[in-house]
Amino acid sequence: MRNRAIHVAALLVFGMLSPIGQAQDKPKPEEKPKSEVQTTPVKVLIVFTEYDGEKKVKSLPYTLYINAPVSTELMPGWVKLRIGNRVPVYTGKDQFQYFDVGTNIDARAAHTPEGPFRLYLNLERSSVEGDVLVPMQKPPEQLSPDPHAGSFRQPVVRQFKSELDLKIREGQVLESTMATDPVSGKVLKVEVSISVVK
Protein backbone atom coordinates (compact mmCIF):
# COMPACT_ATOMS: atom_id res chain seq x y z
CA MET A 1 0.00 0.00 0.00
CA ARG A 2 2.81 2.28 0.94
CA ASN A 3 4.59 1.49 -2.35
CA ARG A 4 1.43 2.31 -4.21
CA ALA A 5 1.16 5.73 -2.52
CA ILE A 6 4.80 6.44 -3.42
CA HIS A 7 4.12 5.55 -7.08
CA VAL A 8 1.05 7.81 -7.20
CA ALA A 9 3.00 10.69 -5.62
CA ALA A 10 5.89 10.15 -8.04
CA LEU A 11 3.50 10.20 -11.02
CA LEU A 12 1.89 13.42 -9.76
CA VAL A 13 5.26 15.11 -9.32
CA PHE A 14 6.43 13.89 -12.74
CA GLY A 15 3.19 15.11 -14.33
CA MET A 16 3.60 18.58 -12.81
CA LEU A 17 7.24 18.84 -13.86
CA SER A 18 6.78 17.58 -17.43
CA PRO A 19 5.40 20.92 -18.78
CA ILE A 20 8.45 22.67 -17.26
CA GLY A 21 10.72 20.18 -18.97
CA GLN A 22 8.91 20.72 -22.25
CA ALA A 23 9.18 24.47 -21.90
CA GLN A 24 12.93 24.16 -21.49
CA ASP A 25 13.31 22.08 -24.64
CA LYS A 26 14.97 23.92 -27.48
CA PRO A 27 12.36 25.47 -29.78
CA LYS A 28 12.18 24.06 -33.25
CA PRO A 29 14.00 26.29 -35.69
CA GLU A 30 11.56 28.33 -37.74
CA GLU A 31 11.61 27.91 -41.46
CA LYS A 32 14.05 30.32 -43.01
CA PRO A 33 12.46 32.82 -45.36
CA LYS A 34 13.04 32.13 -48.98
CA SER A 35 16.18 33.89 -50.08
CA GLU A 36 15.58 37.07 -52.00
CA VAL A 37 16.47 37.20 -55.67
CA GLN A 38 20.09 38.23 -56.05
CA THR A 39 20.61 41.38 -58.10
CA THR A 40 23.52 43.10 -59.78
CA PRO A 41 23.34 46.91 -59.78
CA VAL A 42 24.22 48.24 -63.23
CA LYS A 43 24.53 51.59 -64.98
CA VAL A 44 23.08 51.73 -68.51
CA LEU A 45 24.21 54.52 -70.83
CA ILE A 46 22.06 55.26 -73.90
CA VAL A 47 23.29 57.84 -76.42
CA PHE A 48 21.18 59.24 -79.26
CA THR A 49 23.47 60.74 -81.93
CA GLU A 50 22.11 62.63 -84.92
CA TYR A 51 24.02 63.09 -88.19
CA ASP A 52 23.37 65.35 -91.16
CA GLY A 53 25.38 63.52 -93.80
CA GLU A 54 28.80 62.96 -92.20
CA LYS A 55 28.42 65.86 -89.78
CA LYS A 56 27.43 65.09 -86.19
CA VAL A 57 24.57 67.48 -85.34
CA LYS A 58 23.85 66.50 -81.72
CA SER A 59 24.59 63.84 -79.15
CA LEU A 60 22.16 63.22 -76.28
CA PRO A 61 23.28 60.84 -73.48
CA TYR A 62 20.96 59.33 -70.86
CA THR A 63 21.99 57.26 -67.82
CA LEU A 64 19.77 54.77 -65.95
CA TYR A 65 20.54 52.66 -62.88
CA ILE A 66 18.94 49.21 -62.76
CA ASN A 67 19.03 46.35 -60.24
CA ALA A 68 19.42 43.44 -62.64
CA PRO A 69 18.33 40.06 -61.18
CA VAL A 70 20.75 37.17 -61.64
CA SER A 71 18.47 35.23 -63.97
CA THR A 72 17.92 34.32 -67.58
CA GLU A 73 14.47 35.89 -67.41
CA LEU A 74 13.58 39.56 -67.21
CA MET A 75 11.67 40.41 -64.05
CA PRO A 76 8.53 42.57 -64.10
CA GLY A 77 8.98 46.24 -63.35
CA TRP A 78 10.62 48.99 -65.39
CA VAL A 79 13.06 51.79 -64.79
CA LYS A 80 11.59 54.83 -66.57
CA LEU A 81 12.92 58.18 -67.74
CA ARG A 82 10.85 61.05 -69.18
CA ILE A 83 12.27 64.39 -70.28
CA GLY A 84 11.06 67.01 -72.75
CA ASN A 85 8.84 69.98 -73.43
CA ARG A 86 5.21 70.65 -74.31
CA VAL A 87 4.85 72.24 -77.76
CA PRO A 88 1.69 74.16 -78.71
CA VAL A 89 0.07 73.21 -82.02
CA TYR A 90 -2.73 75.27 -83.56
CA THR A 91 -5.88 73.22 -84.08
CA GLY A 92 -8.13 75.93 -85.55
CA LYS A 93 -10.52 78.59 -84.28
CA ASP A 94 -7.88 80.08 -81.99
CA GLN A 95 -7.45 76.73 -80.21
CA PHE A 96 -4.13 75.11 -79.35
CA GLN A 97 -3.24 71.60 -78.29
CA TYR A 98 0.01 70.79 -76.48
CA PHE A 99 2.13 67.81 -77.49
CA ASP A 100 4.94 66.24 -75.45
CA VAL A 101 8.25 66.42 -77.31
CA GLY A 102 11.40 64.81 -75.91
CA THR A 103 12.72 61.43 -74.85
CA ASN A 104 10.99 58.48 -73.14
CA ILE A 105 13.02 55.45 -72.06
CA ASP A 106 11.72 52.28 -70.35
CA ALA A 107 14.38 49.74 -69.40
CA ARG A 108 14.84 46.47 -67.54
CA ALA A 109 17.76 44.07 -67.34
CA ALA A 110 18.85 40.62 -66.15
CA HIS A 111 22.33 39.26 -65.44
CA THR A 112 22.46 35.85 -67.09
CA PRO A 113 24.53 33.10 -65.40
CA GLU A 114 26.59 32.69 -68.59
CA GLY A 115 27.94 36.23 -68.21
CA PRO A 116 26.26 38.70 -70.58
CA PHE A 117 23.43 40.97 -69.54
CA ARG A 118 20.04 40.84 -71.17
CA LEU A 119 18.72 44.36 -71.68
CA TYR A 120 15.24 45.26 -72.85
CA LEU A 121 14.59 48.86 -73.93
CA ASN A 122 11.57 50.83 -75.14
CA LEU A 123 12.89 54.02 -76.73
CA GLU A 124 10.86 57.00 -77.95
CA ARG A 125 12.38 60.23 -79.17
CA SER A 126 10.61 63.20 -80.73
CA SER A 127 11.98 66.60 -81.71
CA VAL A 128 10.85 69.79 -83.40
CA GLU A 129 12.37 70.02 -86.87
CA GLY A 130 11.63 73.34 -88.55
CA ASP A 131 8.14 74.63 -89.12
CA VAL A 132 5.53 75.26 -91.79
CA LEU A 133 3.46 78.35 -92.54
CA VAL A 134 -0.22 77.93 -91.73
CA PRO A 135 -2.54 80.58 -93.18
CA MET A 136 -5.30 82.03 -91.03
CA GLN A 137 -8.57 82.85 -92.71
CA LYS A 138 -9.42 86.53 -92.50
CA PRO A 139 -12.41 88.50 -93.69
CA PRO A 140 -11.89 90.16 -97.14
CA GLU A 141 -11.63 93.68 -95.62
CA GLN A 142 -8.56 92.58 -93.62
CA LEU A 143 -6.69 91.06 -96.54
CA SER A 144 -3.15 92.34 -97.00
CA PRO A 145 -0.98 92.41 -100.14
CA ASP A 146 1.67 90.49 -98.17
CA PRO A 147 1.08 86.77 -98.97
CA HIS A 148 2.40 85.73 -95.53
CA ALA A 149 0.35 88.24 -93.54
CA GLY A 150 -2.06 86.45 -91.23
CA SER A 151 0.03 83.28 -91.35
CA PHE A 152 1.92 81.73 -88.46
CA ARG A 153 4.48 79.00 -88.12
CA GLN A 154 3.59 75.52 -86.92
CA PRO A 155 6.23 73.07 -85.63
CA VAL A 156 7.07 69.91 -87.53
CA VAL A 157 7.60 67.09 -85.03
CA ARG A 158 9.93 64.20 -85.90
CA GLN A 159 9.40 60.86 -84.15
CA PHE A 160 11.52 57.77 -83.53
CA LYS A 161 10.38 54.60 -81.69
CA SER A 162 12.23 51.35 -81.11
CA GLU A 163 11.94 48.23 -78.92
CA LEU A 164 15.20 46.40 -78.28
CA ASP A 165 16.04 43.04 -76.69
CA LEU A 166 19.84 42.94 -76.41
CA LYS A 167 22.52 40.66 -75.05
CA ILE A 168 25.43 42.86 -74.01
CA ARG A 169 28.59 42.34 -71.97
CA GLU A 170 29.95 44.72 -69.36
CA GLY A 171 31.98 47.48 -70.98
CA GLN A 172 30.72 46.68 -74.47
CA VAL A 173 29.43 49.61 -76.55
CA LEU A 174 26.74 48.38 -78.90
CA GLU A 175 25.34 50.40 -81.82
CA SER A 176 21.86 49.01 -81.48
CA THR A 177 19.94 51.07 -84.02
CA MET A 178 20.47 53.29 -87.04
CA ALA A 179 17.51 55.02 -88.68
CA THR A 180 17.19 57.59 -91.47
CA ASP A 181 14.48 60.23 -91.40
CA PRO A 182 12.58 59.91 -94.72
CA VAL A 183 11.95 63.68 -95.02
CA SER A 184 15.14 65.37 -93.80
CA GLY A 185 17.56 62.54 -94.58
CA LYS A 186 19.17 62.91 -91.15
CA VAL A 187 20.48 59.73 -89.53
CA LEU A 188 19.83 58.79 -85.89
CA LYS A 189 22.11 56.26 -84.22
CA VAL A 190 21.55 54.71 -80.79
CA GLU A 191 24.49 53.38 -78.78
CA VAL A 192 24.06 51.35 -75.60
CA SER A 193 26.61 50.35 -72.98
CA ILE A 194 26.37 48.73 -69.56
CA SER A 195 28.67 48.61 -66.54
CA VAL A 196 28.43 47.10 -63.07
CA VAL A 197 28.15 49.60 -60.22
CA LYS A 198 30.96 48.83 -57.76
For residue 145, pLDDT beyond 60 = no
- Measure Cα distances from 18 to 1, 6, 29 in Å: 26, 18, 21
- pLDDT score of 34: 47
pTM exceeds 0.75: no
Burial class (CB in 10 A: 0-12, 13-18, 19+), 115: exposed
Burial of 24 (0-12, 13-18, 19+ CB in 10 A): exposed
Average pLDDT of the chain to the nearest whole number = 80
Evaluate if residue 17 carries a pLDDT over 80. Answer: no
pLDDT interval class at 32 (50, 70, 90): very low
Q: Which amino acid is at 11?
A: L
What confidence category does residue 1 fall into, taking pLDDT thresholds of 50, 70 and 90?
Answer: low
Is residue 96 classed exposed, middle or buried when 0-12, 13-18 and 19+ CB atoms within 10 A define those classes?
exposed
Report pLDDT digits (tens) over 97-118. Answer: 888 999 999 999 999 888 899 9
